Chains A and B, each alone.
Chain A
């Protein structure tokens, strides 16, 4: 297994610009009728104070953290992921997925705190259990 210690920082993964076009494609795949993901004018009428922007789907924000974990530990690494959504991610945002190792468990399980931030503010927060692939 790759040498990992409690307190290690996971290399961050950046989404330099959250695109509206990707939200529209995602809405179609999910069959998600919620217009907050594709109607910026409607979003501007809601009491959010975000102007004419669209709101990223929760799973897309989560996916940026999965991409970070894959880049670090490989595409089969994620065994469990738990995510909360204290703040929204908006179109045109630049966001960064980050994480830190909190526990090394039996059988090579590595537990990490993971989060997504915009200008230092945490938008999504959770944790994940991953396993590094066996090397042979």
Chain B
């Protein structure tokens, strides 16, 4: 596959996702928590791992669209650089959250492993104008080996 130009990849800087609302249903949190190997948390608290999927689904995007925005050649070309999650209040089951998100940064990098584009997404969760949590996702869109000569 052809490598997308740096200019075309950087066009997504500042892209705003539609945004929207999300409610973590009890059944969803039950299954999610079971996947982690933990017992259910008390008082209707959602497992913090929900801060991976709730932001992008609530912002009305998806893993597939995030791959497409970075012009990924396939699912296998994506690598995780980092996740940063900040919790200002615990996430709760059955509560409605408002979510916004955007693409903060795109950087083209060449290193000993090849060429990749580093794309940083950021999502904010609020409830009644109060900040609840923030998720920052940084992925590598690997473009394969690169001939520096």
A-facing mask of B33-66, CB < 8 A → 1, else 0? 0111110011001011100110001000011100
Least CB distance from A45 to B in Å reads: 10
Q: Check if B130 is an interface residue, CB within 8 A of chain A.
A: no
Given A31-B63, A66-B36, A76-B90, also A36-B75 (CB < 8 A): yes
Q: Roughly how many angstroms separate A25 CA and B73 CA in the complex, as a whole number? A: 26
Report B122 CB to chain A, min CB distance, Å.
14
CA A59 – CA B56 in complex, angstroms? 14
Q: SS class of chain B's interface: helix, strand, loop or mixed? A: mixed
Residue B32 at the chain A interface, CB threshold 8 Å: yes
Give the total of A residues in contact with B, Cβ under 8 Å: 34
Instruction: List the one stretch of B80-88, B97-105, B109-117 in contact with chain A.
Output: B80-88
Count residues of B near A (Cβ-Cβ below 8 Å).
Answer: 33
User: Considering only CB atoms, which chain A residue lies closest to B80 in the complex?
Assistant: A85
Closest 7 CB pairs of A and B: A63-B36, A59-B52, A63-B49, A34-B75, A85-B80, A22-B35, A30-B53
Whether B62 contacts A29 by the Cβ 8 Å rule is: no
- Confirm or deny: B31 has a beta carbon within 8 angstroms of a beta carbon on chain A: yes
- Residues of A in contact with B (beta carbons under 8 Å apart): 15, 22-23, 25-26, 29-36, 46, 58-60, 62-64, 66-67, 70, 75-76, 78-85, 126
Apart from A15-B37, A59-B52, A64-B36: 12 A-B pairs, beta carbons within 8 A: A25-B34, A26-B32, A33-B75, A36-B76, A63-B48, A66-B47, A70-B41, A75-B41, A78-B85, A80-B85, A82-B82, A85-B81
* Interchain Cβ contacts under 8 Å between A and B, 13 examples: A23-B35, A29-B31, A31-B63, A31-B64, A33-B63, A58-B80, A58-B83, A63-B37, A66-B48, A70-B41, A76-B90, A80-B85, A84-B80
Interface residues of B (CB under 8 A from A): 28, 31-32, 34-38, 41-42, 45, 47-49, 52-53, 57, 62-64, 75-76, 78-87, 90
For B84, the chain A residues whose CB sits under 8 A away are 80-83
Q: Which of B37, B42, B82 has the most CB of A within 10 A?
A: B37
Contacts of B76 in A (CB 8 A): 34, 36, 46
Determine if A80 and B86 form an interchain contact, defined as CB atoms under 8 angstroms apart: yes
For residue B41, which residue of chain A has the nearest CB? Answer: A75
Q: Are A31 and B34 in contact (CB under 8 A)?
A: no
Q: Which residues of A contact B35 (CB under 8 A)?
A: 22-23, 25-26, 29, 60, 63
Instruction: Give Cα A33 to B76, complex, Å.
Output: 11
